[in-house]
Structure 1
Amino acid sequence: MSTMQDVASHAGVSAKTVSRVFNADPHVRPETRDRVERAMRETGYVPNVLARTFRHGRSQSVGVAIPDVGDPFFSAIVRSVETVCAPAGVTTLVASIGDDPERERDVIEALLKAQLMGLILAPVAEDQSWLEPWLEHTPIEFVDRPARGVEAEELREDDVDGARRAVEHLVSRGHRRIAFLADRVHPPSTQRRRDGWRLGLRDAGIEPGDASDDADRAGDTTGASEHPRHDLVSLEATDPESAAAAIARMRALPEPPTAAVTANARVTMRAFEPLKRAGLAFVGIGDFPMAHALTPAVTVMAQDPAELGRRAAERALERFESPAEPAREHALIPMHLVVRGSTPAPR
């Protein structure tokens, strides 16, 4: 583990200057700041959080870094973390990463520099190996998405089984042509749910027949299998207009779908009106406020983000005293089917 003096020598400055850069002193010249920050990265320097805690008073904050604080799923995680932390006198600091992987490191490092008792993270980037030095001092719990490039504790939903059961429910209603609507392919959860959609069809004796089949048989899990080309798959439902366009395209097929699985609550909300107008039955993955009050009320595979947040917060607080303890929590939390009015039999 490198020290502040190692960084100072690497950057050609004093240890006091390194300290000023770390504490965001506005009087440090930009070129000096850039040189010191580059030296921190190159030497793998992480400030001794526990030592600073004992000198200046124990941190009383847990951080939560998520893609979107406005997403019902992630906001429920935040509320649950706050429910665990507040009675213990611990403040919850929340940061939104957004969808840009390039922002992830800056956002997370800003939180970690606050001497957190722990961090709860739903990443968007493909690699978190740079977090390795921080894990020696700070408990980090990954939620919803797996850690990549680093060994860390993970808690997430059983996405594959949830999507498989959504298809199973639609098949039980008599549907055979079942579409899959998503808003992006990047998050691992979308990939897992697409895999669950395919598995559900195959369980029912329906061959998905998408281009990923050949790639899967060839052992390629990073190419076509991540970007399926299929008439009944859309990854473009990023807003109501694109969701409507995707559904219109599918409805114009010689054999149009009679039902759909929507990959998350965002997509369900965007696609609700065009799905309703098209007369398609649908199951949404993830419940959301007012889903039960719409017409038709939305059948969902309900996740349990509150349970994710609760377990992650409790585990972070438990590990604060021994953050270097080997990661051991790799939990899959099942989804459950809530049947409402959006899954009638085919017309």
Structure 2
Amino acid sequence: MATMRQVAARAGVSAKTVSRVVNNDPHVLPETRTRVTEALRELRYVPNALARTFRAGGAPVLGVAVPDIADPFFALVAKAVEDVAAAHDTSVVVSSLGYDPERERGALESLLRRPLSGLVVAPTSPDQGHLARWTARMPVVFVDRPPRGLEADTITGDDHGGARMATAHLIGHGHRHIAFVGDSPQVPTTADRLAGHRAALAEAGLVARDELVAFRDSDDAAPGRLVQRLARSSPPPTAVLSADARTTMALVPELAGTSWAVVAFGDFPMADMLSPALTVVDQDPAALGRLAAERVVERLGAPEGSALRRTVLPVRLVERQSCRAEAHAAGLFPFSAPELDTSVSRVEPPGGAASRRCPDASA
């Protein structure tokens, strides 16, 4: 394990300067910071707090870093990690990275300055290569989104297959002009879901229309403007696939009064209580978090163990009512008490007796 003095010798600076770079001291000259950062990477240096934990066998602490702990999806991921950690007498430190990719590295470096034994992370930036010096010394497992610029254990849902299934479901009910709305094409999950959506269109012999694809990081980011732009398409969509729960919750009020059928990727609390209730692709975030934490525990027990693995969990379509062509009769507006429909709060897997079929687009 490299020492701070070895890093200093490689970079041609003092150990104190290396310490300043590791602790993000803003008073280090840019060219000096670059030399030290390169030396840190080459020598795979790990800060002393973590090194002491590994040498002394200190009490294990598992870090969890997700975009937003207030997001219901990531809250369930974190809760599942905590449950597994508790069963192994391991403490958990949770951190929110935010949705700005520029914040990820600083937030992770701050978290990793703690004496962690392992890390579960749902990344937001386009490059996680800076974590290479950490993955060499501790188990780091990526959840929901795969890393880029780095090889690591990964637990994800079937984003491509889920979007393909959702779009095929809408096509099966007669829809031929289906919009796709997502967060950002730079997010791997969104990109995979768009690819799955387009694959289903191609399989049905339909043309993928670029004007029916919209992202919330665009110039028309406001949900109302996105819906208005899509509605002006010729011909306009009769259905929409929303690529993530945050996008869905932003779109729902704007879709009130439209006749568009809706399928949402990602379930969320009260989705089944909207009027009409939302048909969703369920990712099972608790399973993602549980398997990620179990992978960390496995790695801690066998640090020289098996090769890195990527696990893709299946998703399922939870069929409710929002893909009805006549959905505008009730209006996609949350908690409208007179029309509140609780009859579909219990939904069996697709094909089950309690499953409600969505009518054709011409119904």
Quickly name the TM-score band, shorter chain normalised.
Answer: 0.7 to 0.9
Counterpart position of 2:361:
346
Q: Residues 125-140 of structure 1 correspond to what in structure 2 (within 5 A)?
A: 125-140=125-140
Q: Distance in 1 between matches of 2:304 and 2:165?
A: 38
**CA offset at residue 13 of structure 1?**
2.6
For structure 1, the residue ranges without an aligned partner over 5 or more in a row are 211-229
Aligned to 1:120: 120
Q: Does structure 2 conserve the Cα–Cα contact (< 8 Å) formed by 1:163 and 1:196?
A: yes
User: Given the superposition, is the C-alpha separation of residues 241 and 195 from structure 1 closer, same or farther in structure 2, using an over 3 Å criterion?
Assistant: closer
Note closer, same or farther for the CA distance 1:325–1:37 as it changes in structure 2 (3 Å cut).
farther
TM-score normalised per structure 1: 0.84
- Contact map agreement 2:216 2:247 (CA 8 A) in 1: no
Name 1:148's counterpart in structure 2.
148
Q: Which amino acid aligns with 2:361?
A: P
Across the two proteins, how many residue pairs are aligned to each other?
Answer: 322
Q: What SS does the corresponding residue of 1:300 show, helix, strand or coil? A: strand
Q: Give the Cα separation in 1 of the matches to 2:315 and 2:204.
A: 20
- 1:207 correspondence with 2:207: yes
- Is 1:107 aligned to 2:107, yes or no? yes
Deviation at 1:51, TM superposition (A): 4.6
Mean Cα deviation higher: 244-253 or 299-308: 244-253
What residue in structure 2 maps to residue 61 of structure 1?
Answer: 61
Cα displacement (A) at 1:188: 0.8
Change (3 A) 1:255 1:266: same
1:307 to 1:289, Cα distance in 2 relative to 1, 3 A = same
Q: Do the aligned partners of residues 35 and 235 (structure 1) sit closer, same or farther apart at CA in structure 2, a change above 3 Å counting?
A: closer
CA distance in 1, matches of 2:212, 2:218: 16
Q: Which secondary structure does the structure 1 equivalent of 2:211 belong to?
A: coil
The share of aligned pairs that are identical, in percent, is 41
CA contact (8 A) 2:7 2:18 kept: no
- Counterpart of 2:77 in structure 1 is 77
Structure 1 residue 286: deviation in Å? 0.2
* Counterpart check, 1:233 vs 2:229: no
Q: Distance in 1 between matches of 2:48 and 2:305?
A: 17
In the other structure, the counterpart of 1:285 is: 265
1:331 alignment counterpart: 311
- Counterpart of 1:256 in structure 2 is 236
C-alpha separation between the residues in 1 aligned to 2:26 and 2:206?
61
**In structure 1, C-alpha distance between the alignment counterparts of 2:31 and 2:4, rounded to whole Å:** 14
Question: Which of structures 1 and 2 has the larger relative contact order (alpha carbons within 8 angstroms, sep 6+)?
Answer: 1
Listed as ranges, the gaps of 5+ residues in structure 2 are: 325-359
Q: Distance in 1 between matches of 2:277 and 2:87?
A: 36
* Deviation of 1:328 (Å): 2.7
RMSD, aligned α-carbons: 2.8
Q: What are the superposed Cα offsets for residues 109-132 of structure 1, whole Å, 9 maximum, x if unpaired?
A: 222221211111111222222222
- Once the two structures are TM-superposed, the CA of residue 254 in structure 1 deviates from its matched residue by 3.0
Decide which of 283, 291, 305 is 1:311's aligned counterpart.
Answer: 291
